[in-house]
Chains A and B, each alone.
Chain A
Amino acid sequence: MKKQPEDRGSELRALFFESANELLQALNEAGLELEARPTDEEVIRSIRRAVHTLKGDSAACGFHKLSEIAHELEDVLSPQVGKAKGAGLAEIVLAAADTFEAMLSSYQREVEPPPVEGLRAMIRGLLAPSEKNSAEQAVAASDEAQFDWSEYERLMISEALHRGETVYNVALRIDSNSVMRAAAFQLIRNVLHGCGTVIALRPEDNAAAATVEIVEAALASNSPEAQLRQRCKIPSIVSEVWMERATAADSADHELLGELLEAQAEKIAAATADHDEANAASKSANPNSVAATIAESILRVDAARIDAVMNLVGELIIGKSMLHRALTEFDKTHSRDPLRAKMADALAFQSRVLDELHKSVLKIRMVPVEQLFRRFPRVVRDVAKHCGKDVALEITGQNTDLDKGILDALAEPLTHIVRNAVDHGVEPADERLAAQKPVRGTVSLRAYHQGTQFVLEIKDDGRGIDLDRVRKHAVKTGLMKQTDVDRLPESEVLNLIFEPGFTTASEVTEVSGRGVGMDVVRTVLDRLKGTVHVFTQLGKGTTIQLRAPLTLASIQTLLFRVGGRLFAVPLSSVVEITRVTDMEIYRVDQREVLRLRDQILTLVRLNKLDRIHAVETPEKKKKNFVIVIGAAERRFGLLVDQMVGEEELVIKALPGELVASDLVSGASILGDGTVVLILNVPAVLSRLSRATPLGAIA
């Protein structure tokens, strides 16, 4: 095990977790590939490299439990085992990826990592029978040799290379007939020292040599390779010699996090010293080397720093509107002042630059949605396997950009939906055959931009949602009365699946519908000020569409006043604005409704909200504004006193836990310093309609 001082700091660990997650992702992808082609040696080698790097890095960070189990896994990752065990190996790789992930997350939270016995047992189970094979087949030394040099030793190797010396990785198998292992080792050591400079040696001392079969060494020597082979082949002690030239790029492959810079230097040195060799090394499948060259132009930055810049830009925008206001006032009093034009020019210039700056900062936070999509091949595979189905996953639009914060928030709902699509959406094979569909079901993920919105569609070609069964289920679980259900239009029946109480585990499958966690989906989308839409066709499949704003930093809003208070709602939720007289408002079941063209619209008054009523204006007006708001297929009319206008607001979170309110999703400051609250529309609507007798529908 490589040891490193623990005080390398949290920065190193942060880097480790980041790169470890990438390794896990690679491991998952390779595991799936291995499942498809169990004997592909290249895949096995790439898995082995990933595990090896993980082992080294985790040991360097002091996570020995992880590095030990990774080491054990490494032992079974050979083409021989792949041939013998086929898909069994892939199963272990995937299980290992899960175990590593669990361990990493506990290391990250600084708690004791979970037990790894399950994985260990799997590895042992795989290894035990195949060891017999290897005894018979006499596995070549090269497959067992690790050449697992420590950081220091690798540095020495690269320095020797840099000096122009030739370095060999040598593996010698001690003859199994040799009785005195320690003596044999001593002899080997003497010979190696006679051949040139021994940079590294495994095992390190005679005592440890008693149990090993293979001696590994890194040897710097000027003698030709054939001559060295000859000298190392000590009769009746060494049964097999394996030798290869070490390259600098090779050591860069096993790079530790702490010496990224040194690696760059080594690579340049290697490239100039021996161009062919460097080429060969990168060809010898080093996926990191490509990434490493790209990495030079990419900075890893703490998200908090970007947020800080984002905040400052937000302040600047507020500052801009303050200036703008001041100029307008100045205009009124000194309209003929030549200074006025100068200031207006300066302001126009400044706002143009500011606009660019704002866009650039927003762009920094954007990441391709692929980061989110890449985990789904694994999810689909696992769920499909679990329910004995054959399901293909199609992904399009993975390059679509999205704010990192939104992307992270979408991960959970998306997982729910995809799992549901495979579990409940796609039918079992016999049912599909009967319906004349291909046996293999398809789930597709599609992402694209539409205006200032990000759209994500999850589509399956399964059985669709049976609305009648949804209705029945709603009645059965007491969510609604039969008479109410019958009155509901189809679009609203679909909405029932978003109700928190709508599903219980055993009944989900019975309803054949989506339901598990659909309320979670809606909650998250509400929080993001996005929307969820469901389209379904019985027997043909279901599409669920998630819409979210591209960024959380600013938002297009509609400003209005109720009872003297200023509020804003996201413009994306506004369907239309209309004016009504009091005469047009009817009371039905103690609910105020409005007839708008052919539709009956439920009216809500904000001043019914807690605390707002205090400033209610009692006087009756002839005409009121009604903002028609769409929330999850339903429409409501929001009665307001005065329309203020449309404005792009820079969102600030409400401070601290003191004023947190589910009815308000954020606040912003206008140019004149006024604080305006941005309403969380779905929460407000459900609060206000819950107060009415028929509220259960909402």
Chain B
Amino acid sequence: MEKDLQVVGFRIGNETFGVRIGSVREIVRVTEITTVPNAPDNIEGVINLRGKIIPVMDLRKRFGHGEIVTDKKNRILVVELDSKLLGLIVNSASEVLKIPPSEIEPPGTVFADGESSYVTGVGKLNGRLIILLDISKLLHRPEFKRLEEAAEIVATVS
């Protein structure tokens, strides 16, 4: 029998999303976020993660949730992308879910083209639907392209 897919489940609005457990480094409480002027809209700012400065993106804004209510259950999901860390603000995150491969549907049937790029599939677990995400694809959008050029400048500062 094939091994179950292990994902970290988190909630945004009414939906449950899942990212592969291997790409999640840790989950922390929402701390003070330092705003960076002139940074892209999706990036809330930077936080201090035990001496490391990492950028934070609000996934709720990224997924177009207009109304953002801050509460104590909010968490920052710290994920690793190309050996760089990135924080994602989510409504709540707690459980590790095990989804049998047989219960995973390809995304094409459910999502429109635009969104399906970062959705890798939809898992079914105990009657719940879990949208599986590929974090690296979340960043692959035209608006982030120009920033790669700017990164050069930052590199020389370090």
A contact residues vs B (CB 8 Å cutoff): 307, 315, 318, 405, 409, 527, 552, 565-566, 609-612, 614-615, 651-667, 669, 673-677, 687
Contacts and interface: CB of A to CB of B under 8 A. Distances in A.
B156 interface: yes
A654 B156 CA distance: 11
Interface string B24-55: 00000000101111111001011110011111
Contacts of B52: 655
A185 to B, nearest CB: 60
A612 B34 contact: no
B150 A658 contact: no
B43 A673 contact: no
A663 B157 CA distance: 13
A662 B153 contact: yes
Interface in B117-158: 139, 144, 147-148, 150-151, 153-158
B4 to A, nearest CB: 32
Task: Pick from A409, A566, A666, A677 the residue with the most CB of B within 10 Å.
Answer: A677
A658 B153 contact: no
A611 B36 CA distance: 8
B85 interface: yes
Contact of B151 (A609, A651, A656, A673): A656
A315 B150 CA distance: 26
B84 interface: yes
Contacts of B151: 656-657, 660
A615 B32 CA distance: 14
Contact of A674 (B32, B150, B155): B32
Contacts of B51: 315, 318, 669
A641 to B, nearest CB: 16
Contacts of B76: none
A464 B48 CA distance: 51
Contacts of A609: 37-38
A663 B47 contact: no
B86 interface: yes
A179 to B, nearest CB: 68
Contacts of A687: 38
Task: Pick from B144, B155, B156 the residue with the most CB of A within 10 Å.
Answer: B156
B157 A656 contact: no
12 contacts: A611-B39, A653-B155, A657-B147, A657-B151, A657-B154, A662-B38, A666-B158, A667-B46, A669-B48, A669-B53, A675-B47, A677-B34
Contact of B139 (A654, A658, A665): A658
A413 to B, nearest CB: 13
Task: Pick from A307, A552, A612, A675 the residue with the most CB of B within 10 Å.
Answer: A675
B89 interface: no
A104 B151 CA distance: 27
A653 B154 contact: yes
A179 B148 CA distance: 70
B77 interface: no
A38 to B, nearest CB: 43
B35 to A, nearest CB: 5
B7 interface: no
Contacts of A664: 36-38
Contacts of B43: 658-659
A611 B55 contact: no
Nearest to A310: B158
Given A611-B38, A612-B35, A660-B150, A674 B55 contact: no
Contact of A663 (B32, B34, B37, B54): B37
Contacts of B158: 307, 552, 651-653, 666
A565 B46 CA distance: 13
A673 B55 contact: no
B157 A659 contact: no
A181 to B, nearest CB: 61
Given A655-B54, A658-B55, A663 B38 contact: yes
A611 B34 CA distance: 11
The list of the 3 closest CB pairs from A to B, nearest first, reads A653-B158, A657-B151, A660-B150
B57 interface: yes
Nearest to A676: B34
Given A658-B144, A660-B151, A676-B34, 7 more contacts: A527-B156, A527-B157, A552-B157, A657-B147, A657-B150, A657-B151, A669-B51
Task: Pick from A409, A659, A663 the residue with the most CB of B within 10 Å.
Answer: A659
A552 B45 CA distance: 23
A664 B154 CA distance: 9
A71 to B, nearest CB: 39
A653 B151 CA distance: 10
A552 B157 CA distance: 7
Task: Pick from A307, A405, A673 the residue with the most CB of B within 10 Å.
Answer: A673
Nearest to A654: B154
A654 B53 contact: yes
Task: Pick from A318, A527, A660, A661 the residue with the most CB of B within 10 Å.
Answer: A660
A566 B48 CA distance: 14
B34 A675 contact: yes
A659 B85 CA distance: 12
Contacts of B39: 611, 658-661
Contact of A659 (B32, B46, B153, B156): B46
B85 A655 contact: yes
Contacts of B139: 658
A676 B153 CA distance: 19
Contacts of A565: 34-35
A673 B32 CA distance: 10
B129 to A, nearest CB: 29
A88 B54 CA distance: 59
A409 B54 CA distance: 26
A651 B38 contact: no
A610 B38 contact: yes
A669 B47 CA distance: 10
A611 B37 contact: yes
A410 to B, nearest CB: 12
A659 B36 contact: yes
A653 B85 CA distance: 13
Contacts of A655: 46, 52-55, 84-85
A652 B53 contact: yes
Nearest to A315: B51
A658 B34 contact: no
Nearest to B40: A658
A677 B86 CA distance: 18
Given A667-B46, A674-B48, A654 B32 contact: no
A363 B46 CA distance: 31
A379 B15 CA distance: 65
Interface string B89-127: 000000000000000000000000000000000000000
B57 A610 contact: no
Nearest to A524: B156
Contacts of B34: 565-566, 667, 674-677
A549 B157 CA distance: 12
B87 to A, nearest CB: 10
Contacts of A661: 36-39, 150
A691 to B, nearest CB: 13
Nearest to B147: A657
A666 B53 CA distance: 10
A676 B36 CA distance: 10
A662 B153 CA distance: 8
A658 B86 contact: yes
Nearest to A684: B37
A647 to B, nearest CB: 16
A27 B40 CA distance: 49
B38 A666 contact: no
